[in-house]
Amino acid sequence: MSRPKKGSGDMKPRGPRRRPFVGPKGDEPVSVPWNLTEEQQARLRVAVRSLHKREGRWQAVADIVGYPVMYLRAFVDENAPIRGKGQRHFAAKVAAALGVDLDDLLAGKAP
């Protein structure tokens, strides 16, 4: 059997494009930037410390958040800044572990 060549018309048509999430009032999509500001990273450090205080051990925090203990401790000690797309993922994991909204966590409204 031979495969159809690209552009030969035998390919499946694409479905409709997905539209970005728009709030109930038709506002712009709610999103968190990829790169967190220094203030947001400081708030995230406070949140990780409070999670550690609640759980009592770094290993328990690492199991919940899904990041290695060495990474968590280096982040809290400001020896390992988060860069790139990992910032939002890490912040979301911490917010979920604390049971708070990500936006509230980064704005300083949550512990």
Q: Is residue 63 situated within a structural domain?
A: yes
Overall pTM surpassing 0.75 (yes/no): no
Q: Is residue 71 part of a domain?
A: yes
Q: Which of 63, 84, 59, 87 is nearest to 75 (CA)?
A: 87
Rounded CA separation 23/72 (Å): 34
**pLDDT top residue among 67 and 6:** 67
- Residue 81 inside a domain? The answer is yes
Residue 6 maps to a domain: no
List pLDDT tens digits, range 18-45.
554 444 444 444 455 567 888 888 899 9
Give the CATH number, domain containing residue 70: 1.10.260.40
Task: Please count the residues of the chain.
Answer: 111
Token pair listed for 75: 């982040």
pLDDT digits (tens, 9 = 90+) for 46-85: 999 999 999 999 999 999 999 999 989 988 888 766 666 6
Q: Is residue 94 part of a domain?
A: yes
Is residue 99 assigned to a domain? yes
Average pLDDT, the chain: 77
**Percentage, residues of the chain above pLDDT 70:** 61
How many folded domains does the chain comprise? 1
Q: State how far the Cα of 35 lies from the Cα of 26, in Å rounded to an integer.
A: 25
Per-residue burial over 56-68, b if 16 or more Cβ lie within 10 Å, else e, is eebeebbebbebe
